[in-house]
Amino acid sequence: MEFFVIFIAAVFVNNIVLAQFLGICPFLGVSNKISTAVGMTGAVLFVMTFATLVTYLLYTYVLAPMNMAFLRTVTFILVIASLVQMIEIMLKKVSPSLYQALGVFLPLITTNCAVLGVAILALGLEQTNLLKALFFAISNAIGFGLALILFAGIRERMELAEVPKGMQGVPINLLIAGLLSLAFLGFTGLV
């Protein structure tokens, strides 16, 4: 039951993009088409899960025991950037097809603050253990993907709509993002 609550909270109630406003840059920048949104979702799922695994272990077994928790943010940033680079190099050699599928999304994830935010938030879970932290990361990646794909679908439909000249582009996109955020606010009472 506890994992179900974590999942519902991460995907719908405390959505990383729409409620906590982390990862807004890729949310607005990569959501032009559903196909790119799906690609970004896969890349975020992979990196967010792997980064949470490594940062959780690093914090639990190195930083916290050595009373260096104050270095958490800087360490996590370096770890995430290094992980993305290592994953990119390994994928290029081991699985060129997966590397091509992820394409430009891997370098974009290096600067995605949602990955860092989830890694830090996973440490603050009640009675945190590695399994909970990983499930939290996967759930947040699914929530990120859901918001990104919904937004991309709406943006594709908006290309066919008659939008007033003053609202075209960024203004209508921000308005849609706000309305999507309000729609997810309706899930607040679930957990």
Place of tokens 């929530």: 143
The mean of the pLDDT values for the chain is 88
CB atoms within 10 A of CB 111: 14
Task: Report the distance separating Cα 56 and Cα 23, nearest Å.
Answer: 20
Bigger pLDDT: 155 or 43?
Answer: 155
33-49 burial: b if 16+ Cβ within 10 Å, else e: ebebbebbbbbbbbbbb
Which pair of tokens denotes residue 46?
Answer: 């992979």
| Model pLDDT for residues 83-116, shown as the tens digit of each residue | 888 888 887 887 777 777 666 777 777 778 899 9
Looking at the chain, how many residues does it have?
191
Can you give the pLDDT at residue 102? 67
| Model pLDDT for residues 46-62, shown as the tens digit of each residue | 889 999 999 999 999 99
User: 32: which DSSP letter?
Assistant: S
Are the CB atoms for 41 and 152 separated by under 8 Å? Answer: no
Are the CB atoms for 80 and 119 separated by under 8 Å? Answer: yes
Which pair of tokens denotes residue 22?
Answer: 């982390």
Say whether pLDDT at 38 is over 90: no
Which pair of tokens denotes residue 54?
Answer: 């490594």
Say whether pLDDT at 152 is over 90: yes
